[in-house]
Amino acid sequence: MNLHPSVLPAFKGQDGFGDALDYGAKYTGSTIHFIDEKMDEGKIIIQTVCPVDPNADVTVTRHRIFQQQCKSLLQVIKWIEEKRISISGQHVFVRNASYLDFEFSPSLDYDVARQLQIPFPKT
């Protein structure tokens, strides 16, 4: 698996987060996908979105994306452990998943992932 700091297939490559901000995207986010032979083109397991506040320090937005990635990774590991993930063609399906959350798709259903808090680093 790969944790990518943008909503794929947009902003592939080494600096997906920076590229999204440089482009002026109104939303950014993250993607966890299976790795395949092409960079950032594997089958998507989970994605997150986060509005870009042009008045906020970029480190605040980056930290929010990092939190989303951590929560998503915990969730995906739980789905794998529970054997809930299947693949059909280009699509990844999560058995009994819901899609009611506007931040995570599929929605988080693992309490440990939902409740994870990662404090902003002190400088």
pLDDT tens digits along 24-61: 999 999 999 999 999 999 999 999 999 999 999 999 99
Q: In this structure, is residue 33 part of a structural domain?
A: yes
User: What sign does the dihedral 65-66-69-70 (CA atoms) show?
Assistant: negative
Question: Does residue 123 fall inside a structural domain?
Answer: no
49 neighbors 62 (Cβ within 8 angstroms): no
Rounded to whole angstroms, how far apart are CA atoms 105 and 65? 14
70 is a domain residue? yes
Distance CA 92, CA 64 (A): 25
pLDDT at 121: 84
Residue 120 within any structural domain of the chain: no
Domain that holds residue 39: 2-115
In-domain check, residue 19: yes
Q: What is the CATH number of the domain that holds 40?
A: 3.40.50.170
Q: Has residue 121 been placed in a domain?
A: no
Do the strands 44-51 and 85-88 form a parallel or antiparallel pair, or are they unpaired? unpaired
pTM of the predicted model over 0.85: yes
d(CA 17, CA 117): 21
Write the single-letter amino acid at 96.
N
Quick: pLDDT tens for 58-91: 999 999 999 999 999 999 999 999 999 999 999 9
The residues annotated with a catalytic role in the active site are 4
